[in-house]
Amino acid sequence: MSSRPRHLLVALLALALVAIAARAGAQDEDFSPESDAWNGLGRFAAIARERGVTLEIPARLDVGTLQPADALIVVSPNDELPAASLTDFMRAGGRVALGDDFGRGDTLLRTFRIGRGRPNRADALRLRGNDELLVARPSAGHPLTEGVSALVTNHPMVVYHPELEPIFSFGERDAVVLAGAVGAGRLVAIGDPSVLIANMLELRGNQRFAENLVDYLDGGRGGRLFLITPGAVMVGRYGEPGADRPLHDVRAMLERLADVELPETALRIAAAAIAGILMVLAAGVLPRSSPYVGAAMFARPSVPGGFAGRIEWFSQRPANLGDPAMVYKLELEIELHRRLGLIAPVSIDDVANRMKARGMRSTDVESARRLLGELAELREEWERGTRGDALPEARFRKILASGEALLEKVRNLG
């Protein structure tokens, strides 16, 4: 055989191997909604469409675009979920099912005091004697259990809650499915996402459970059903489309100002606040230097960036520092909630109680109460437009120093 045909044969063989490897890789991708392989969600997606729902499978979902009639099925997420936004979505009427065993869904579960753990295999039925194929039985009458005598799992985790009764469980308390109300909405926690893969849907009970789940989430409300697979990204804040985009908050402020009749003085203050924020943002976006101008041209005194820059900018002008104080109030509360593990909305009492539980001294807790109370009063005056005299710089800097000291004390808690 000449060298040319031999090289051609080698090239064709290599291409064939690449194609086979690519196909095998696609088949091996867990929870792929386009795959009908044993570990894919293609069959589940088909079931959802057959039930008449509007199914969407986004690679990126802005939570702000969701409507109360919509529902989500989140499967084995790779990234931490936006728990606060999903909570607001459910309180408004949205429904969420989280199927997760070892993924990043624990943030959302902890928000509702739902824990995960290993099942007690000694009390569980097994399919074909396999210790990993545990059989869950319906534990309570619920729309999810209709027509399902057994739900077969594959390497499951159990989910538990101090008050919620199991929907499906191994034995008495080892729940693999929990469901509960969140405001006007619903949350379903499933300890094994593989109950929805094609291989498991070959079992009659699992297929009926999948049908029940779709019907329960849809609820005849005419909304959309979003299937969120492991690689999908969820961003934004519920009720605020585009909240993850640059300048969203500034744009929202401008829209609110357009609808509010303000006195001339208040308009000047608001304009100064917006201008200050935009100047700081622009300082971080524009080039540091230009090849077209010399260093001596258009010389300006240096201004620090970030929040310090905002303080400096306002302090050099005869404006009311109440506006940056409101910005600092928001930033302080967000950071406090994050460090204390609280989900907004929370009260000052909630913050104080969490500080006490973490071991903060009573005197420091009372100082925190006074600071948060002072900021709350300023916020009320700011919203009513009854601030009276301008907030002095000395008082603003005192608020700032107290807030930073509080954050440092919280950081040092156990």
Q: What is the pLDDT of residue 144?
A: 97
Residue 271 shares a structural domain with residue 387: yes
Residue 11 lies in a domain: no
Q: Which residues, 6+ apart, have CB-to-CB distance to 6 below 8 Å?
A: none
Encoding tokens for residue 57?
């499978």
Question: What mean pLDDT, rounded, does the chain reach?
Answer: 79
In a domain, 9, yes or no: no
Measured CA distances, 276 to 168, 301, 310 (Å): 56, 15, 6
Write down the pLDDT at residue 294: 43
User: Residue 256: which pLDDT band, with cuts at 50, 70 and 90?
Assistant: low
Residue 85 has pLDDT above 60, yes or no: yes
Claim to verify: residue 106 and residue 76 sit in the same structural domain: yes
Which of 17-31, 158-172, 222-236 reaches the highest mean pLDDT?
Answer: 222-236
Please give the pLDDT value at position 295: 44
The phi, psi pair for 126, rounded to 5°, reads -125, 145
What residues contact 48, with CB distance under 8 A and at least 6 apart? 55, 214, 225, 227
In-domain check, residue 1:
no
Mean pLDDT (whole number) for 109-124: 85
Task: Assess whether 219 and 353 both reside in one domain.
Answer: no
Q: Are residues 307 and 353 in the same domain?
A: yes
Evaluate the CA torsion angle 193, 194, 195, 196 in order and state its sign: positive
Asked whether the beta carbons of 166 and 175 are under 8 A apart, the reply is: yes
Q: Is the pLDDT of residue 38 over 70?
A: yes
Same domain as 219, residue 72: yes
163-222 confidence digits (pLDDT tens): 888 999 987 778 999 999 999 999 999 999 999 999 999 999 999 999 999 999 999 999
Residue, of 274 and 73, whose pLDDT is higher? 73
Alpha carbon 403 to its chain centroid, in Å, reads 26
Q: Please check whether residue 374 lies inside any domain of the structure.
A: yes
Cα dihedral 382, 388, 389, 393 in deg (nearest 10): -10
Tell me which of 122 and 102 has the higher pLDDT: 102
Q: Which CATH number fits the domain that encloses residue 184?
A: 3.40.50.880
On whether both 171 and 263 belong to a single domain, the answer is no
pLDDT of the residue at 335? 82
Residue 166 neighbours by CB under 8 Å, 6+ apart: 139, 140, 173, 174, 175, 176, 177, 178
pLDDT higher at 272 or 398 = 398
Same domain, 183 and 256: no
User: CA nearest 390: which of 291, 280, 265, 286?
Assistant: 265
Angle at 30 between CA 27 and CA 32, to 5 degrees: 75
Q: Which of 116, 57, 110 is nearest to 84 (CA)?
A: 110
Assign 63 a pLDDT band (cuts: 50, 70, 90). very high
Residue 344 pLDDT: 63
Highest mean pLDDT among 115-119, 189-193, 357-361, 409-413: 189-193
What end-to-end distance do the CA atoms of the chain give, in Å? 76
Q: Provide the pLDDT for residue 268.
A: 59
Q: Is the pLDDT of residue 248 over 50?
A: no
Tell me the residue range of the domain where 259 lies: 248-286+301-411
Q: For residue 19, is it within any domain?
A: no
Same structural domain for residues 183 and 79?
Answer: yes
- pLDDT value of residue 337: 84
Amino acid 412: pLDDT: 84
pLDDT at 288 > cutoff 90 = no
Q: Is the pLDDT of residue 124 over 70?
A: yes
Check the CA dihedral 332-333-337-338 and report its sign: negative
pLDDT band (50, 70, 90) for residue 240: confident
- Residue-wise pLDDT for 295-345, tens only, equals 443 444 454 444 455 455 445 544 556 667 777 787 788 888 888 888 767
* Alpha-carbon gap, residue 177 to 161, rounded angstroms: 11
Q: Are residues 221 and 257 in the same domain?
A: no
The answer to the question of residue 102 being in a domain is: yes
Same-domain status, 231 and 257: no
Which pLDDT score, from 0 to 100, does residue 271 have? 61
The CA radius of gyration of the chain, in Å to the nearest whole number, is 28
SS3 at position 228: strand
The region of weakest confidence among 42-51, 118-127, 134-143 is: 118-127
Domain end residue (candidates: 213, 235, 257) = 235
Q: Is residue 357 part of a domain?
A: yes
Q: Which of 1-5, 281-285, 297-301, 391-395 has the lowest mean pLDDT?
A: 297-301
Question: pTM higher than 0.75 for the full model?
Answer: no
For residue 160, give every residue at least 6 positions away whose Cβ sits within 8 Å of its Cβ, in sequence order, or none: 114, 115, 116, 117, 173, 174, 175, 178
Q: What is the mean pLDDT of residues 261-286?
A: 57
The mean pLDDT value for 11-15 works out to 47
Residue 12 lies in a domain: no
User: Do 330 and 229 belong to one domain?
Assistant: no
Of 56, 66, 49, 44, nearest in space to 193 by CA: 44
Q: Say if residue 182 is in the same domain as residue 254.
A: no
Instruction: Tell me the average pLDDT across 348-364.
Output: 91
Domain count, the chain: 2
User: pLDDT confidence of 91, banded at 50, 70, 90?
Assistant: very high
